[in-house]
Structure 1
Amino acid sequence: MADEVGNIEIQMSHREGNIELSGHKKLKRKVQSYSAKAVSAVLAGTMVLGGTGAAFAETTSTGTPAAAVTPQSAATAAGIFSDVKTAFWAEKHIYKLASQGIVVGNNGLFRPGDSVTQQEAVLMALRFMKLQGNVNTSTDVVLPADFIVTNYYKPYVVLAFQQGLLDKTVEMAADNLKTSWGERKASREWVAELLVRSLGKSASAAAAAGEPTGFADDSKVSANKRGYINTAVDLGLANGLDGNRFDPQGAVTRAQLATFFSRAEAHNTLDYDNTFKGTVSSLKDGKLTLFSNGSTTDFTLNANTAYFTSTSETRISLNEIQPYTKVTVIGATYNAAYVELTDPTQQLDQAEGTFAKLSTGIIWVDSANGYDQYAYDAATTFHDVNGAVIQPSSITAGSKISLLRESYSGAHRVVKVQVTSGVVNKTATGTIQSVDTASKSITFKNADGTTESFKWEDGTSLFSSQNSILLPAELKTGAAVSYTIKDNVIRTVEVTSGVERTVKGFIYELTDTTIVYQKTDGSREVKLLATTPAIVIPNASSPVIGDLIADKTAGDNVQLTLNSSDQVTKIEVISRQIEQYTAATVVDYNSKTQFLTFTDNNGKAHVIKLDEKTKLAYGGLITTSLTTMGAKLVENRKIDVTSINERAMSVELSTKYTGTLTSINATTRTIVIKLSNGQLLTMAYPLSVDMFGKNSAAITDVALNVPVTAVLSTNQDIISVLRVTSASQLEIATVNANTNKMTVKWAGGSSELYLAAVPLTNEAGQKISLSEVKAGEYVNVSFEGSTPLSLQSVKQYSGQISAVDAAAKTLTVKDYSGVSQNFTASAGVRITRDGVTTTDLSGLTTADRVLARKDASGVIIISVFSQLSRTFSRYETATNEVMTKRATLNENYKFVLAPNAYIHQGDTTLPVQSLKENDNIIMYFNNDKIVEIVKQ
């Protein structure tokens, strides 16, 4: 058989329109033939490489994978892969090749850790060599029966043989055909050979074949691969692993293969689609202009553009790429997906001289032979001695200047003029571009659109607005100004047409039309109030201007927002200097003097004065009558008080206390509640206890150190009801978005929750609607008593256990989209399998399919899916049922397919329609629905 394989030649039969493998000797192996129609049908569900593993390309209207038709289309869709995080070791190479269309992803995923098959690696190598367009997919492909390649890849594998990428003698040797050749995972030594052959370096490999690799596991290297490994290492394409190992038989991942081919680009001369090399001639306003071969091309930069250097694997920022440096830009339709800095040296030369004058487009520089003339344009920037940007007209005759000229285009265009010694004196108008308080500089934008920057000096009042002194930080971007420069330094800045700005201080005085505030430096300013200024007070609902506290020593600390007319449009309270007393006891109220005497919870007496500004409330009602409120301030009444400098800001009859239950005394039948301000309240047992999940609860059912709210009786002497704050994870039974109701299951039964006024969020804290949650899902609900306060949906992860470490209490679930989720069971774990619950991770294996989530306390809840091995019969589209063949008449043979069920063979995803009669399958079930089918 080996002799026969050695004589095989790959030929194209024009007469038959078939690609065949033929030889000088007659082959005794069976040959399978597939019609073009059959191949097309299979392609509809076939995986396409980009180093693929489990990523799929979109399909065309004919069912052919789109990446197979136009692989470069994948580059525009590659973008940023959500599973290739910043600083991932192969991030640079993945984005580079994805931008070139050599590798592709699917639905924003790359799956860098997935293994690559040999047939996938072949397609990637052909893309790397820009030969994939040479394949003939319109003819039938005939291969030996035991040389198994998936139908879609057959013409590419044949092309690889024709191009010398694959060695027929080696690949078709009898001992190499024991398993499917195409779907076999590509090993590191096999990929090394493929890489070297794709670069045309086979001669170098032959010369190095007799040399040891130098790796600790050299003895494991196949003899016919040693030269290729040596050459790949010499070229810098592949490196060793930990312990100086090469791991020749180890499987190559998608990330590793992308890295190999990315490094290999340095050793070929091919021009890849969408890849441009040149010098950055401009970099501003979100665009990069590239000069190459005598012309310029503009590329748009966006948030997804990736930046790297040729000498490092680590991502850099756009700020690290400077104009006039050399770069490689990859991107279709002039949108840069990938930018690589290849030479950070700016392509500039320098000339110096004495500035004489400026004419249209010409800088005149005094020299020994008269005047030298240098052309400039709108892109040329001018800078003063401090490096600040100035207008060309600001340069005075006799100033020493340095001119930087680009050296890459041959035109020697002046890109920068730097004043090395000289002065700028001017008065100009413009707008504030930016203010840098650290460097004490302001950048102005002039009427002609140019910008210039100057510094100010400490100790002078430089800034004013309508006769008000401004601090530098109060100057806002966009404000129209008039400014004076003397000796290169800012002397005055006057705001002529301001924009919205903010100031801070505490309220000194407040009227219906004005506010006086005191700044941190002790100075005071008065501002007019706009017609209806917005009032913001923390923890206050719909506050009004009367809720603000003005005081000559302890008024509210506020931030004022001023409009362009310097009127206050918003007042936001930052902090208050107030005293708070909860559950204080009235000693006396004098209606004539309006003095209220009370004792705090520690028995200390206080005296405060009520006035017409004091907020008064009782029984949930607000009153403005001191007479009405005074009648209720009788001895021993419980009140909640806020005051400032012995002035009552608010007085309210106590109706409830919120805090933490710290003690229960069964002997004295009392409880102790610790309030948020640290006060301890001792009160008699409540008349009733309200807590979710416990009917007819008693005080002994309440755990210590849990939050509670004590609602007082009308006479304030006892707790009418103690509401226990709790959080529970509950399973949704029904949802009715129209009535804002949800039924949930809990250990004691079920409850109906009314959620009209309850905030609903997802696991990320984003607001959701009730219609977004479904029956069978779980939610975390916080309660005050039995009343829901908030609801959060719980994310569940459905997939295969990819790793489990019982000792370290960790496990990883790879969900059906290919994303891995790590769990740490430090808070505990509950595993349910076939109705039996255990608490030990050692009961899980990497063959298990599970549904995993965390409960409200952080315990990991894992439900292991049941499974069945059957023989496939057919799929009923109308009922969405999978039919299997029965071993007995009583055996169930109909199974409902869940939406988005994962159907696959190995790492290749399949449509359910691709399953054929008599296929052996394994089905995994969640709630009696198939969530995964594995084709054997």
Structure 2
Amino acid sequence: MTFKYNNPSHSKKVMSAMLAGMMALSGGGAALAAESTETGQGQPAATTTSAAQTGLFSDIKAGYWAEKHVYKLASQGILLGNNGLFRPGDAVTQQEAVTMAIRFMNKENQLNDGTTAALPTNMEVSNYFKPYVALALQLGLINQTEETAADVANTTWGQKPASREWTAKLLIRALGKNDEAKAQNAQSTGFADNDSISDSAKGYVNLAVSLDLAKGVDGNKFNPTGTVTRAQLATFFSRGEGLTDTAYPNTYTGYVTGLKENQITLVANGKTMNFTVNSSTPYFTKDSEVRAAGPNVQLYTKVLIVGGSNGAASYVELLDATPQVESVEGTFARALSGNKVGIFVGENYETYAYDESTAFIDQNGNAIKVSDITADSTVEIQRETFSADKKTVVIRVKSGIVNKSDSGTVTEVNPSGKTIKITNAAGQSEQYTYNDNLIIRYRDRILPVAELTAGSAIKYTVKDSVLQTVELSQGVEQNVRATLVEIGGNQSTLTFKREGGSLEAKLLVDQPEVIISGIEKATLSDLITDADNGDQVELTLNSDDRVTRIQVVSRQMEPMNGASVVSYNSKTKVLTVLDSNKRPYVFTLDEKTKLDYNAAKPTLAGLETLLNEGRKIDLTYVGTRALSVKVIYKYEGTLSNIDTANKKISLLSNNQTVTVAYYSVPTIEIYNKAGAGLSDLKVGDSVTITLNGAQDAVQKIALNTTAQFEILSIETNGRILVKSDLLTSHFYVDQAVLTGENGQSITAAQLAAGNLINVTFEGTTAKAVQVVKRTLGQVTAVDASSVTLKLFNGQTETVPVSGTIKVLKSGSTLTTIGSLTAGDRVEVTKDTDNSTRFRVMTVANRQFWSYDAVGNQILVKRESTSDTNYRFALSSGTYVHQGDTTLSVQSLKDNDNIVLYLLGNVVLEIQKQ
């Protein structure tokens, strides 16, 4: 591999960067690489393949930590591979390091081109490197006395791996600070392995540390004999480019002034250049080591482009994502001769020049001509700010009067903002406002805006920039709320009463989808039709106006509680009962009847064995059809009395007092309390009483409680591991009703470690689990009734505070909102008693070391040899940022100063300083 530098000299600050990168050798984050054009015999390679032609060396795989830097240098022709290999993990030799120092200092013009440079007899180097080593001796970058005294018994001087302390001396001398370093030789370095550092190198190490150029490694050690790899050296030269004015013939830094599907237009040093790009063009950003998933370049942003063959871009790096433009808004007056426009900006009349590259855009983003702009239109002038000319790049109409009729396709309907986006017949995107006078027609019907959906083909009229009429030219899928009245005898038609409308009839598709909560694989026969009490449904109609889907949203069914079974016929499925007033009723059961008795998976066969005379049941029905039957085996309610003398328990259930005897002390079940008894219950408790098989005595009393937990892990068979108040426990949620933080139904598979959940227990059994909404952000303001937060997504949210509050801060639980201060990072949740809880995150200022992607952890620099708190787990959505710019954790670099905000020992936010 060969590195090339061309022309201008390098500044000393670049050399400082080189030393800083070289000395920080932990975990692949160091910035040095190697250079060689030699074979193992120390002779120039017979064939050298340029990586610039293939993009990557065969031993640099996609995602490799130094891929960005090797890719750029290869594209620039700065490094060449040896038979297509880079050998990134090979150690840098002393002759390679010296060569790099000479080239980086731009001293190659002082080389003796011959291979007969005089060197001490025991400083044996390969012919290629002799002129570089000879010049290094002449410049004092290496000391002849020190080098001839070094032990090279097992190798030659040139092939000896460059150690960390040796390289520190080389680079401090390259910085011109040799005398300053020597003056510190008598001082201890302060590293734990100080005695292992050569006396002649201690001053150089001290100076490197004092200049903040060198850092230690694990255990507060310097590791003076540690080596430097080729990938690390390559990374340095790539990063150093940003600190030098060295110009490369095929490397251009400038601003993007044009973007087409396969082309980027760049203005650099006053010249305009076009580069072709394709799907294989590599894109990177300045602050990330990871290759971007796709093009991330926008107009007027600052980029670096390395040009390849035939005008192609072989490497693109986004240096600054902020568009370099300024905007002026005013009222359009007229177009002037000489490619100028006149604009009223406030009370001032101003003129702006434009040229053939200026884009003219209407309020819908469509290209127009300057002649299309009408007087008094509000326009925005955008000018670039990266040149003295401040050329006009865009003239955009922000508002103008539109009167037209056209056809097109609806792309978006926004009822809250009362806007509709349309792609017109010419393929251009438009957006118009509408008001309550908008008329939407489909055939002979007037439709509400809610039935106008994306994809609808329409004809439309606009007056004074407001939509007046929309006519659907073909049907689209729509949803209708209605009451079911009748299903046709051959199940091909459906009659319904539209919500707020009259009777309608629609054809059904073959086998329409029927959805009824609690009924699996529901069919048309499961629907309840009635002019007054039919199912309330949401119908889905396809573009042919046929019903494809029927979802029951509510039913007008009747309840009957506390009925007594008179008889049941298992052949006819006819059930006769007496209601609580001793009036007789007859109902029919079928395979769709919802069943409930004391069994995990009730069946009709199992229920039939219980329907003997006198059995107490609750049921719901429509007409003579039983929709649900529940054998009363338990009562839920509020405990109102415990009569131990007469052995009776009373509770208020469904607004009725129920009293049940007990023959022996029933089992008392309370979550997280073993061996509970009647004395653990008190009047007012919410309880569930389970009856014996005869329904005449209490068998078990379960206390209904709610507790809040953090999920630690999801285990098998519906069991979860949770934590509350530092205590961990297991329980099953397979029989519980599960809801998300917005009340939506979820499955156990949608629960995740880190979720905060409220669990409702019936005794020790989880009956309901709800994910608690967690709001994370920075406190920006606090008053008596609210707390204002800046959320991680940049939005602002005001949390109203009333009633009980809890502030968990610095290990204490406080109850006043005044204990929160601006700048606090908090987690806001609702506790089980509906009180608002603020958990204030703890703060730690550290230096970044590395990221463990497998364990999703970061490692920080130890503050001392006894510091064991240097690993921190990240949450699934840790917010990493610098100011308002969101970063990836992979973009953090060794020695970055960071602030960690933690709950427990989990990092929720990382702020790069």
* TM-score between the two structures when normalised by the length of structure 2: 0.45
TM-score by length of 1: 0.44
Higher relative contact order (CA 8 A, sep 6+): 2
